[in-house]
């Protein structure tokens, strides 16, 4: 009795030791998902992404975690199923031995086979169901941040840098997520600086265009003044040419007048000589008349 009780205790302890890692792994996955929501809650309380990233630890243990995860999810179900099959086989063998008579054993074989199959199927279904649930949870722990990071990458590629989102994760995935969030924040800062510089360049360009417009107006006014000066110069040139022509005509007239004056002077001298001779003749006539009287 004590031997059977001790053997049963060891078997129960063995099953517990095999179920323990599997259930612990599932609990770890659920706690990790809860912790990620806690990180997002902390980030929503007013902390910047840089502060959250600086506060959380960074570990590089994903390889060891994957090895342990694979070992627990693969080895544990296999060992459990092997133990279940062994225990059921021993049970069937023991009951057949207890039956004693071959006829009774022949009758019990079918019933024991069905009972063993049902028990093993139920236990294996429970074990593999727990293993599949744990594997799905582990895939969620790795796949969800990857999908979120992929979505963030598509948003950045589309030019959306306005509202960066923190993607909580663990180990190397968290390092990638933190670097990704920091990169996006820096890109947003650089884009803001470029926008401010663009606004300053636009204002400077408008000022340059305004100054250029004023210079253009001044140049137009100077061109108009030059046109007026050119017209006045041309008019003065025409007036000077006309004056020169008039001066030539006056000189010609003066020459003719001078020639005429010289000719008139000779006529005046001849006239005076004739008048002198006439006076002399009149004087002679007067003398003759006086003598005649």
pLDDT of residue 10: 66
- pLDDT band, residue 215 (cuts 50/70/90): confident
Q: What integer pLDDT is reported at residue 192 of this predicted model?
A: 83
Quickly state the pLDDT bin for 92 (edges 50, 70, 90): confident
Lowest mean pLDDT among 54-68, 234-248, 264-278: 264-278
Res 13 pLDDT > 80: no
pLDDT value, residue 1: 44
**In this predicted model, what pLDDT tens digit does every residue of 154-187 receive, in sequence order?**
888 887 777 778 888 888 888 888 888 888 888 8
The average pLDDT across 198-225 equals 80
The answer, yes or no, to whether residue 255 has pLDDT greater than 60, is yes
Confidence of residue 4 (pLDDT cuts 50, 70, 90): very low
pLDDT by residue (tens digit) across 119-149?
A: 778 877 888 888 888 888 888 888 888 888 8
Over residues 27-53, the mean pLDDT reads: 85
pLDDT at 102 over 50: yes
Q: Mean pLDDT for the chain?
A: 76
Residue spans of the domains in the chain: they are 2-198
- Banded model confidence at residue 40, pLDDT cuts 50, 70, 90: confident
| 27: pLDDT strictly greater than 60 | yes
Task: Please say if the pLDDT value at position 8 is more than 60.
Answer: no
Please give the pLDDT value at position 184.
82
User: At 75, is the pLDDT very low, low, confident or very high (cuts 50, 70, 90)?
Assistant: confident
Residue 216 has pLDDT above 50, yes or no: yes
Neighbour-count burial of 208, counting CB atoms closer than 10 A to its CB (0-12 exposed, 13-18 middle, 19+ buried): exposed
Taking residues 221-231, what's their average pLDDT? 73
Model-level pTM? 0.55
Q: Is the pLDDT of residue 3 over 60?
A: no
């Amino acid at each position: 009795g004590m031997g059977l009780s001790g053997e049963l205790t060891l078997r129960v302890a063995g099953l517990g030791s095999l179920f323990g890692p599997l259930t612990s792994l599932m609990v770890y996955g659920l706690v990790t998902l809860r912790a990620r929501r806690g990180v997002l809650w902390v980030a929503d309380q007013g902390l910047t992404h840089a502060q959250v990233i600086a506060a959380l630890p960074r570990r590089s243990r994903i390889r060891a975690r994957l090895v342990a995860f694979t070992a627990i999810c693969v080895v544990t179900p296999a060992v459990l199923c092997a133990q279940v099959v062994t225990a059921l086989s021993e049970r069937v063998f023991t009951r057949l031995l207890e039956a004693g008579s071959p006829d009774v054993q022949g009758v019990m074989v079918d019933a024991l086979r069905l009972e063993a199959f049902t028990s093993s199927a139920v236990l294996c279904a429970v074990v593999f169901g727990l293993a599949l649930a744990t594997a799905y949870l582990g895939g969620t722990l790795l796949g969800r941040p990857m999908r979120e990071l992929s979505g963030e990458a598509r948003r950045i590629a589309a030019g959306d840098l306005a509202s960066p989102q923190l993607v909580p994760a663990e180990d190397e995935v968290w390092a990638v997520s933190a670097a990704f969030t920091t990169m996006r924040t820096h890109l947003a800062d650089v884009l803001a600086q470029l926008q401010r510089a663009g606004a300053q360049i636009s204002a400077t360009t408008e000022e340059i265009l305004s100054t250029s417009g004023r210079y253009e107006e001044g140049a137009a006014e100077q061109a108009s003044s030059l046109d007026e000066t050119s017209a006045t110069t041309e008019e003065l040139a025409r007036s000077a040419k006309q004056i020169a022509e008039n001066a030539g005509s006056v000189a010609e007239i003066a020459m003719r007048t001078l020639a005429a004056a010289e000719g008139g002077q000779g006529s005046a001298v001849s006239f005076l000589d004739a008048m002198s001779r006439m006076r002399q003749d009149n004087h002679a006539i007067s003398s003759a008349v006086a003598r005649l009287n």
